[in-house]
Amino acid sequence: MFRTLKKFFDFCDRENRSKLYLALVLGIFKAMFSMLRIPAAGVVLQGILENNMTMKNVWISLSIMGVSVLGQVLVGLKTTMLQCEGGYNTCSAKRVEIAEHLRYLPMGYFNANSLGQITNITTNTMEQLADVATLVVMMTTQGIVTTAVIFLCFLFFDWRIALILLFGILVFSFFNTMMQKATIPVAPRKARADESLVSAVIEYVQGIAEVKNYNLTDKSAKKLEAAITEKQASDTKMEYTVIPFMCLQGITTKLTGVLITIAAVCFYLNGSLSLLYAILLVISSFMVYESLDLMGGFSALIRNVDIIVEQVNKVLSLPPMDIEGKDMKPESMDIELKNVSFAYENKKIIDDISVKIPENTTTAIVGPSGGGKTTLANLMARFWDADEGEVLLGGRNVREYSFDSLMRNFSFVFQRVYLFEDTIANNIRFGEPDASMERVVDAAKKARCHDFIMSLPDGYETRIGEGGASLSGGEKQRISIARAILKDAPVIILDEATANVDPENEAELSKAVEELTRDKTIFMIAHRLKTVRKADQILVIENGRIAQQGTHDSLMREDGIYRRFVSERQEAVSWKIA
């Protein structure tokens, strides 16, 4: 238990750890104010036993009791505020830290780890940290502190009674330790169930269209039901594991109180303890129930605190890419790859590619699916680091740049556009949050999306659904282009940006792309012939290698993949229904 408590406090940053430590110190004062109930009762009892009860005794007792109650309320209020601030601030700080850490992880991490796992850690796990973990830690530690204060008070009254209390505490601690050990194999199962449930829900909701389309409702629902059932089973298993030990802890506290009562009576009868002290010790024994039972109830969840801290630390300990480069501006926008190779999960995707993309030129890349086209674009922007060779921007290895200074030079328009659940204006501002509204509108006009934005209920302040669900594919694509225009980066990477656009939007989208790419260094992955043939150079990628390289005209004179690619596209365009 103490190892977990230390791990939790080490997990918190210095400022919030100080708040939690202060809350513990105040917990000592709260326990002392609580113990004032004993002398308050003692004043009354002494008057009764000595047959000398006066209003003075009553007022003294009430005054002490008032100080006790007022002190507990005020200190308890401050303690609770510190606990809340420490817990929620830690949660907030760790969420930001995780988000920042995820920015600099290789993209391979996100391919290898499900969306559910990341979502579970950043939402469910962190929420448990703020709500449950902090409360468990603070209530457990305060239970220990209060019990220690009561023990010291018992030493003041009678050391023999204090030994009985110490024995009860040791037995209680034994059962508590056994409970902690019993939860070791159960807690990870509960954590996995939490994660699996989040993954199953996300998969079910995001894939609902395919589920309905292919009539997979029963199969998909069964997977979700299985995750829910496992969550129920793991929670139930956890409860069944801790309940027997909690019962033993409760029995221990009650029996300890009984033994203290019996001992106090016996010591009074043999004359070694005054009647006043005997009665006060009997009353105090019930206070032991309160502190130990409180500690025992919350300590049943202490293993979950350990799991929560481990899950967050596991993400934060993932090695990021080396981002400690210099914050600098490239001398030119020439991009060059020298003998670049890259493998993912032992499968070579890029195999010894060398190519130069001069500044203010357009390079198109074509080839069979799975040949490595998107991976090559990701290596240029350093979403991944090359295993061999080097990627240069302006004659410098991209690793020499700090990640942020490198990203300032790139804008991306992907085939699958993601828009955030926010206003359209803020989605366009995403690359430059401080941009004025005039610049946002200007970028939207250049991207040919101003007219349809103004037709929406709230114009640029219209809130769109998560992922841009309330917009068509062409509308989302043009907003994505407006975002890139506003950023005004000198290098543009287009990843099949117009591949799935309907004919109604194609003309407007083509104009938007032309506006975006004017006087830029362009690297495009495309399947449409009319966008490819205008490129200054064309790379044909097959099996991770450059199979052909040249202009449209020069490649058409060669018998190879590109000429077959063009012929297939021309046949597809001329195909008609008879």
Convert 306-321 into a string of H (helix), E (strand) and C (coil).
Answer: HHHHHHHHHHHCCCCC
In a domain, 253, yes or no: yes
- Beta bridge partners, 13, equal none
Q: Report d(CA 213, CA 164) in Å as an integer.
A: 71
3-state secondary structure (DSSP) of residue 544: coil
Rounded-to-integer distance, Cα 365 and Cα 523, Å? 8
Beta bridge partners of 388: 341
392 contacts 359 by C-beta, under 8 angstroms:
no
Cα distance between residue 310 and residue 23, in whole Å: 24
The reply to whether 526 falls in a domain is yes
Sort residue 482 into left (φ over 0), alpha (ψ -120 to 50) or beta. Answer: alpha
| Cα angle 487, 337, 561; round to 5 | 100
Residues 452 and 482 in one domain: yes
Decide if 499 is inside a domain: no
* pLDDT value, residue 535: 84
Residues 384 and 343: beta-carbon distance below 8 Å: no
Q: Report the CATH number at residue 8.
A: 1.20.1560.10
Nearest partner of 349 among 328, 329, 378, 320, judged by Cα: 378
Nearest Cα neighbor of 110 from 481, 378, 329, 419 is 378
DSSP state at residue 463: B
| Same domain as 284, residue 197 | yes
Q: Dihedral of CA 547/553/554/556: which sign?
A: positive
C-alpha torsion sign, points 349, 353, 359, 364:
negative
Task: Look at residue 431 and tell me if it is in a domain.
Answer: yes
Q: Are residues 157 and 261 in the same domain?
A: yes
Q: 503 in a domain, yes or no?
A: no
Q: Assess whether 304 and 191 both reside in one domain.
A: yes
Residue-wise pLDDT for 320-330, tens only, equals 777 677 888 88
Domain of residue 478, CATH code: 3.40.50.300
Do 182 and 70 lie in one domain? The reply is yes
Look at residue 136 and tell me if it is in a domain. yes
Positive/negative CA dihedral, 462, 466, 468, 470: negative
Residues 333 and 295 in one domain: no
CA angle 227, 421, 516 (to 5 degrees): 125
The verdict on 337 and 389 lying in the same domain is yes
Q: Does residue 396 contact residue 329 with C-beta atoms inside 8 Å? A: no
Residue 139 to residues 27, 47, 146, 150, Cα–Cα distance (Å): 10, 37, 10, 16
For the chain (length 578 residues), average pLDDT per consecutive 10? 72 82 84 82 82 82 89 88 83 83 73 62 73 70 77 83 88 84 80 76 67 59 80 84 85 86 89 86 76 68 73 78 79 89 83 89 84 84 86 89 85 78 86 85 87 87 73 81 86 72 63 77 77 83 87 86 77 51
Q: Which residue, 250, 284, 316, sits at the end of a domain?
A: 316
Residue range(s) defining the domain that contains residue 550: 328-408+521-578
Are 234 and 153 contained in the same domain?
yes
pTM, to two decimals: 0.63
User: Is the CB of residue 138 less than 8 Å from the CB of residue 83?
Assistant: yes
Q: What is the dihedral of CA 179, 185, 190, 195, to 10 degrees?
A: 150
User: Do residues 372 and 422 both lie within one domain?
Assistant: no
As for how many domains the chain has, the answer is 3
Domain finish residue from 316, 341, 358: 316
The residue type found at 61 is S
Do the domain assignments include residue 402?
yes
φ, ψ dihedrals at 366, nearest 5°: -130, 170
End-to-end CA distance of the chain: 78
432 and 378, same structural domain? no
Give me the amino acid identity at 223. K
370: left (phi over 0), alpha (psi -120 to 50) or beta: left
Which candidate, 81, 260, 103, places its Cα nearest to that of 169? 260
- Tens of pLDDT, residues 442-500: 888 888 888 888 888 888 898 887 656 667 777 888 888 888 888 888 888 887 655 55
Q: State whether 221 and 365 are in the same domain.
A: no
DSSP H helices, 214-325, are 217-269, 275-299, 302-316
In a domain, 511, yes or no: no
Same domain? 349 vs 433 = no
- Out of 257, 284, 316, a domain closes at 316
